[in-house]
Amino acid sequence: METKRDEPHHGGYTRFELELEVPAQVPLPPHIPPKVSTANTTPPAQFVQSLSNPHYLNHLATLKLFDDPSFVAYLSYLQYFRQPEYTRYLQYPAPTLRALELLQQERFRREVLRPEVVGRMVVEGVQAVVGGERLEA
């Protein structure tokens, strides 16, 4: 398979090759009008949204996925969700994009293994939801 020379590669794969894993057309359930996109039901969108869960980040770290250069490259590739045409498909864009931003940092990928880091992220997330009221951890 030939690719353009100037096309970016993510973990050794082009964006086209990565998106081949996503079904080309997701059939709409009968109760959803055709104008509503189902981009948030595709595997990349579901995965990106799951990154807003600190416990899931800890789980990924325990699996040592953050040590895999291909996985880290995939996290970098997922930055396209920051673009408005993709952000609108995220149910919780602020915490999701914040986690995606933090995951670009090697130090964070190491520290998310620590329970106190996960606990602090959970408390900060709850505080953000309740309007910044101070919660005791």
- Candidates 1.10.10, 1.10.540, 3.90.1720, 3.40.50; correct CATH number of 9-15+38-129? 1.10.10
Rounded to two decimals, the pTM is 0.65
Q: Which residue has the tokens 């020379």?
A: 5
Strands (E), the chain: 9-10, 13-14
11: left (phi over 0), alpha (psi -120 to 50) or beta: left
For residue 67, pLDDT over 70 is answered with yes
pLDDT digits over 28-64, tens only? 444 444 444 444 457 788 899 999 999 999 999 999 9
pLDDT digits over 6-28, tens only? 555 555 656 555 555 544 444 44
CA atoms of 44 and 50, how far apart (whole Å): 10
